[in-house]
Amino acid sequence: MASFYFDRYGIETVSIRIGSSFPQPQNRRMMHTWLSFDDLTQLLERALYTPNVGHTVVYGMSANLDTWWDNRYAAHLGFAPKDSSEVFRAQVEAQPPVAADDPAKVYQGGAFCAAGPFGD
């Protein structure tokens, strides 16, 4: 919809796909998707105050070593994350591994994919 409104009416939008914004990554999945609160604040400020954004889609993630997403369009906003999940790696990897069929491991949406509603 945001793309349509920009193409049709010139209404600019930054769509931010936030990974996992918590004080620290809570599991292995979040090592890829983690977004620190400071980086989230910076991203929101850049999205609000950068002129001429058109319709831009960016991913809300810190400068994590292993990421799943291509976030090249965030550079247009001047977003330069400062934090990384790496400082938490030893703590996270000390946790027991999840089962191979656990939605948190199988799907990009993680545990949300198993939240339902189902069968109604």
With bands split at pLDDT 50, 70 and 90, how would you rate the model's confidence at 120? low
- Residue 119, domain member (yes or no): no
Tell me the pairing of strands 13-18 and 55-60: parallel
Residues of the domain holding 102: 2-114
Q: Each residue of 30-45: pLDDT tens digit?
A: 999 999 999 999 999 9
Instruction: Flag whether pLDDT at 90 surpasses 70.
Output: yes
Q: Each residue of 6-15: pLDDT tens digit?
A: 999 999 999 9
- Residue 43, domain member (yes or no): yes
Question: How many CB atoms are located within 10 Å of the residue 47 CB?
Answer: 19
- The CATH number given to whatever domain includes residue 37 is 3.40.50.720
- Cite the beta strand spans of the chain per DSSP E: 13-18, 55-60
Yes or no: say if 61 and 67 are a contact pair by the CB < 8 Å rule.
yes
| pTM to 2 decimal places | 0.87
Q: Each residue of 51-75: pLDDT tens digit?
A: 999 999 999 999 999 899 999 989 9
- Residue 101, domain member (yes or no): yes
With bands split at pLDDT 50, 70 and 90, how would you rate the model's confidence at 48? very high
Average pLDDT over residues 80-102: 94
Count of domains forming the chain? 1
Q: Each residue of 92-117: pLDDT tens digit?
A: 999 998 888 888 788 878 777 878 77
- Residue 120, domain member (yes or no): no
